[in-house]
Amino acid sequence: MARNCLQAAELTTSGRPVLLPTEIECSLLSTVDLECDDLPNFPHLKSGLLILTTHRLLWLPESTAASSASAIPLAAITHIFSAKKSIKSMFASPRLRFQLSVSPEGWVSDSGSGSRSVVVTVVVRGKGDLDAFLNKFWDSWRGRAWEIVHEQAGSDVASGSGSTSGMYTREGAVRMVGVSGILRKEQEMWESTDKSLQDAFQDLNALMSKAKEMVMLAEKMRQKLLSGSTSQPSAENDEELGSKQEMQDWLLSVGIISPVTKESAGAMYHQQLSRQLADFVRLPLERSGGMMNLIDIYCLFNRARGTELISPEDLLQACSLWEKFDVPVMLRKFDSGVMVIQNKSHSDEEVFARIKTLVTKPDALRTGISASDAAITLGIAPGMAKEHLLTAESKGLLCRDISPDGFRFYVNLFPEINPNDMFSVKDYGIYSTWLRAACASG
């Protein structure tokens, strides 16, 4: 089992790796084996996806089972061997080797302070550019991005900005605690944010150089807002809470720290893009009633990717691959040709029930409803509401009237009318309710 030797890697519902803070994907190879003859408890890793990030090597199985995804911290790697060129290697699967530091029991840790070293071999059985991967492997290992985070955390504690105990600071001042301390810390954070925004918008060059920093800052703000309490002891903070809620909704789609690119994913670009898109649309769909127009998703996704824009063809191809993956979203095309993305748990019957409740109200029985009326009830855009109304019409639930004022939809009364006795009205049912409403209006 992978847990006997390597660290387990967490995956999203679509099979994408859950990245650490500030971790960015660099490259990947498909159909890769990991072998280590020096460790008896090294897991059996065959024909998987190998992803290189700034912090780790991630091995993902083809079945995307979360329990078998493994991670090797780059901090535990002590040496990367150069690729050897020989006549024998021309007829064998490409390979690269690196040296890994492990504990006496054979465990791999983040610190890389193991007592002995073993050699791990990467066997590439698929079609991938091993030389390009090796170059990025060297760059990521030498860059030591994981140490930068640790140094920043250490400097925060040394300067007193970290979470230290006691009532007094090192300068002898009384430490701000309780609600006052929270408000002061929040004020300092917003002042720092304001300064970063001013620096970023000086000119276009400054904005481009600050792009990565701004996405990381937005992610930290989003995490803080999502983890913060929604209750305050004072009523005077209601306006501030409202602004925080708006900021939270905006930050949910502000940026993707490590977007999938053709350079990093290579031949696996559309597959990885499809999985990342499935993770991204989860929150927008929750806020939109479980369904969104494909054009709206395209705009939101490209905005979140920053400068790494994708084409409409790439988006459509990524959505079409969801049929092959076990993801909770799907691409749907209405009879009118409108394409939407919706949750698989989205129920048309539930939507139809809400529409039926709307059209059977006394006012709606007399004048019908428009797409705007349905949009308010369903909490979606009028264009999407119209598609739902047309679908309900095709199911026989509604009737349509077209006038210069546009489309008006009415409840379908024909199933309750007896063609042999058209003037007979039952004391119950929608038909009798409609008659009473019509008589009342007359």
Q: What is the CATH number of the domain that holds 132?
A: 2.30.29.30
Q: What is the average pLDDT across 32-52? A: 87
Please tell me whether residues 303 and 403 are part of one structural domain: no
Q: What is the pLDDT of residues 383-441, one digit of tens each?
A: 888 888 998 888 888 888 888 878 889 888 777 776 666 556 565 566 556 666 666 65
Question: Residue 33 CB: number of other CB atoms within 10 A?
Answer: 18
Q: What is the pLDDT of residue 8?
A: 86
Asked whether residue 307 is assigned to any structural domain, the reply reads yes
Q: Mark which of 144, 172, 190 sits at the end of a domain.
A: 144
Distance (Å, whole) CA 302 – CA 277: 11
Q: Please report the pLDDT score of residue 69 as a whole number.
A: 86
Do 409 and 432 lie in one domain? The reply is yes
pLDDT at 290: 83
Q: Is residue 216 part of a domain?
A: no
Q: Mind listing the pLDDT tens digit for each residue in 165-223? A: 443 344 444 444 455 556 667 777 877 777 776 666 665 555 566 666 666 776 666 66
Residue 423 confidence (pLDDT): 59
63 and 116 part of one domain: yes
pTM confidence score: 0.64
**pLDDT number for residue 242:** 54
What's residue 229's pLDDT?
Answer: 46
Residue 202, pLDDT score: 61
Judged against a pLDDT cut of 80, whether residue 325 lies above it is answered with: yes
Which of 221, 311, 205, 293 lies closest to 257 in space, CA to CA? 221
83 domain residue, yes or no: yes
Give the N- to C-terminal CA distance of the chain in Å, as an integer: 77
Given a contact cutoff of 8 angstroms between Cβ atoms, the answer to whether 292 and 340 are in contact is yes
* Structure confidence by residue, pLDDT tens digits, 69-106: 889 999 999 999 887 766 666 667 888 999 988 888 87
Residue 160, pLDDT > 80, answer no
pLDDT value of position 209: 61
By residue range, what is the domain housing residue 34?
7-144
Which has the higher per-residue pLDDT, 301 or 92? 301
pLDDT band at residue 45 under the 50/70/90 scheme: confident
Res 167: pLDDT: 39
d(CA 145, CA 139): 10
| Nearest alpha carbon to residue 307 among 227, 212, 243, 381 | 212
User: What is the pLDDT averaged over residues 136-157?
Assistant: 74
Number of domains in the chain: 3
**Please, is 149 exposed, middle or buried when counting C-beta atoms within 10 Å of its C-beta (0-12, 13-18, 19+)?**
middle
User: Are 12 and 125 in a shared domain?
Assistant: yes
Between 144 and 68, the higher pLDDT residue: 144
What's the CA gap between 106 and 115, in Å, rounded?
10
**Percent above pLDDT 90 for the chain:** 14
Q: Is the pLDDT of residue 63 over 60?
A: yes
- Mean pLDDT score, 314-328: 90
Residues 6+ apart with CB under 8 A from 30: 49, 50, 126, 127, 128, 267, 268
Asked which of 303, 321, 343 is the last residue of a domain, the reply is 343
223 lies in a domain?
no
